[in-house]
Amino acid sequence: MRLTQAFEITKWDQSTYDESGDLTLGRAAVGKTFKAVGDELDSAGLEGTSTAELLMVGTTAGPAAYTAVERFTGTLNGRAGSFVIVHGASADQTSSPGKIVAADGDLTGLTGTVVYEHDDKGPRLTVDYELP
C-alpha cells in the first residue's frame, strides 16, 4: 500500500558537537505530529507522533547532509504500534529517502520504504509499505 501524510514539526532542539575549520557537526532531537484531516479521516492513514535523532554536517555555505533514526508511534491503516525509520539526504537532494527497519505492536512485520519531502506543498511523508 502507499500513502502520503502531511506532518508538523513540533520540536527541534539542535546542538553542535564538533566545530573545526569550515565544517560543523551537530545533532538535533526532532518531534513530529501526523494527523489525518478532511478526506484522510476515512482512509488508510498515518496518525500519531514521532521522535527522531538527527546527525548533521554543515559548511560555511549551509547544510550539507543529515542522517536520522526516527520512531513513529500511533496508527497505520487502523493498526496501533510503532515503527522505526532510517533516513537521510545530502543538500543536493530534493527528497529524503529511507527504510522501515523495525516495528512492534499491531505493526509487527511491517516493511517498506519512505520518502520525506519539504517544498511548496508543505512537509509530508510518503510510505510504501506491506503489512502481514
Report the predicted TM-score, pTM, of the whole model to 2 decimal places.
0.91
* pLDDT reading at 44 higher than 60: yes
**Res. 65: pLDDT tops 60:** yes
**Confidence check: pLDDT of 36 > 80:** no
SS3 40: helix
Reported as a single tens digit per residue, the pLDDT across 72-130 is 999 999 999 999 999 999 999 999 999 999 999 999 999 999 999 998 888 999 999 99
Fold designation for 2-130: AOC barrel-like (2.40.350)
**C-alpha dihedral sign at 102, 105, 108, 110:** negative
Tell me which of 38-42, 60-64, 112-116 is least confident: 38-42
Residue 130 neighbours by CB under 8 Å, 6+ apart: 1, 110, 111, 112
